[in-house]
Structure 1
């Protein structure tokens, strides 16, 4: 029997149809007050969910790029969902090119995927598909069989990527900055935040794991 999927959900999303549908799909729902994003699927994957109207409003009040930047600083694989069937160019009095420009900046410059879903059922199914894909990829990795021993450099990267929210690119940035695994482990939150790809949440969770007692 396959292990139950779990997802961390921002408290403000608990009354949404997405959470209700995830519960019906037998997801384990973990409510938290999230500083970044609305749904954490894995330690590397986080989603900011917006209705069509909210997405356009977030362009007008300049929230969108701040939220996107925070996603990028704290997660290796962030993405934004725009949920709803409304015409995105007609919900507010804003020039379509402004909306196109914002979407292009997010996807092409910041490398954050934008996924459109029809409704909360579609959004929940998208989360389920992503997690099934992640599980399958992990299974494929475990079935690869023997491989050449890791080089010292690869082993150092492997050690750092085992820490919360740290992907290979961020691990390389950390190692290039601090030079040794020991210096990374001994670094302060303030020093960590100076490294590209490391945000406040990542540094706090990093420090929490480093200093936590094994009980």
Structure 2
């Protein structure tokens, strides 16, 4: 393959240990490794790919990360693809089948994402290469790493608030309307956080604690303690 027709794939640094990169290179791809803010791979300026095992996919539904991730991908790329390795219905995670179905439907119908299933990492690499080859037909220019551009202002503020545990899109909107800024939100007391519909005491304490946690402390930071049982997730 000539240099002009080489398929270039941008890979997030966390994929360096996945075993996918050597296979992509064997297939003929030029792989550039760096720090991507969203997605595991960027296969063109318009298409980002997130690779997840079935267990990781289900876990991201349970803790809400999937929906935040999908929103950022949709905001910054014309097309987003979720590659899932394995069977999402056979992970033995404590989640209802309806919740998985709902998450998949949300990705496709609301976020406009494509969801593809693959058997294993080798199949994942081959699928990514095939997608990149199609996406880069007649591309005509080099790809380069760049930070994901989130629209400044309200959208950026909402994504910042959604990044906190237990805060989904609807609660983020209420929080921003109530506090008016991310700065006011992160400096709020437990009582002030509880003034937002959808944030109860336990969730407010957990948000308060997570903002004030310092590296090197025990799992539960000092001050306002999270009184929820160990391992319990409070989600919307």
Query: What is the TM-score normalised by the length of structure 2?
Result: 0.57
Cα distance, 1:109 vs structure 2: 1.3
Q: Give matches, 1:128-143, under 5 Å.
A: 128-136=129-137, 138=138
Q: After superposition, what is the alpha-carbon deviation per residue over 1:153-177, rounded to whole angstroms, capped at 9, x for unaligned? A: xxxxxxxxxxx9xxxxxxxxxxxxx
Q: Give matches, 1:112-131, under 5 Å.
A: 112-131=113-132
Is the CA contact (8 Å cut-off) linking 2:48 and 2:81 kept in structure 1?
A: yes
Equivalents in 2 of 1:125, 1:90: separation in Å? 24
Is the CA contact (8 Å cut-off) linking 2:9 and 2:132 kept in structure 1?
A: no
The correspondence for 2:25, drawn from 23, 26, 39, is 23
Q: After superposition, what is the alpha-carbon deviation per residue over 1:65-122, rounded to whole angstroms, capped at 9, x for unaligned? A: 00000101111111111012xx322311211010000000111111111111111111
Q: State the SS of the aligned residue for 1:72.
A: helix
Higher helix share: 1
Is the CA contact (8 Å cut-off) linking 1:79 and 1:114 kept in structure 2?
A: yes
Equivalents in 2 of 1:129, 1:7: separation in Å? 11
Q: After superposition, what is the alpha-carbon deviation per residue over 1:36-59, rounded to whole angstroms, capped at 9, x for unaligned? A: 111000111101110000000000
The correspondence for 2:63, drawn from 61, 64, 81, is 61
The correspondence for 1:45, drawn from 41, 44, 47, is 47
Cα distance, 1:31 vs structure 2: 0.8
Matched positions, count: 149
Q: Give matches, 1:100-115, under 5 Å.
A: 100-115=101-116
The equivalent residue for 1:4 is 6
Q: After superposition, what is the alpha-carbon deviation per residue over 1:124-178, rounded to whole angstroms, capped at 9, x for unaligned? A: 1112221232344x39xx9xxxxxxxxxxxxxxxxxxxxx9xxxxxxxxxxxxxx
Equivalents in 2 of 1:112, 1:58: separation in Å? 16
Is the CA contact (8 Å cut-off) linking 1:21 and 1:120 kept in structure 2?
A: no
Q: Give matches, 1:174-189, under 5 Å.
A: none
Query: What is the TM-score normalised by the length of structure 1?
Result: 0.62
Equivalents in 2 of 1:14, 1:135: separation in Å? 23
- Unaligned 5+ segments in structure 2 are 160-236
The equivalent residue for 2:164 is none
Is the CA contact (8 Å cut-off) linking 2:43 and 2:136 kept in structure 1?
A: no
The equivalent residue for 1:89 is 89
The equivalent residue for 2:196 is none
Q: Give matches, 1:175-214, under 5 Å.
A: 193=152
Cα distance, 1:28 vs structure 2: 1.1
Q: Give matches, 1:66-81, under 5 Å.
A: 66-81=68-83
The equivalent residue for 2:181 is none
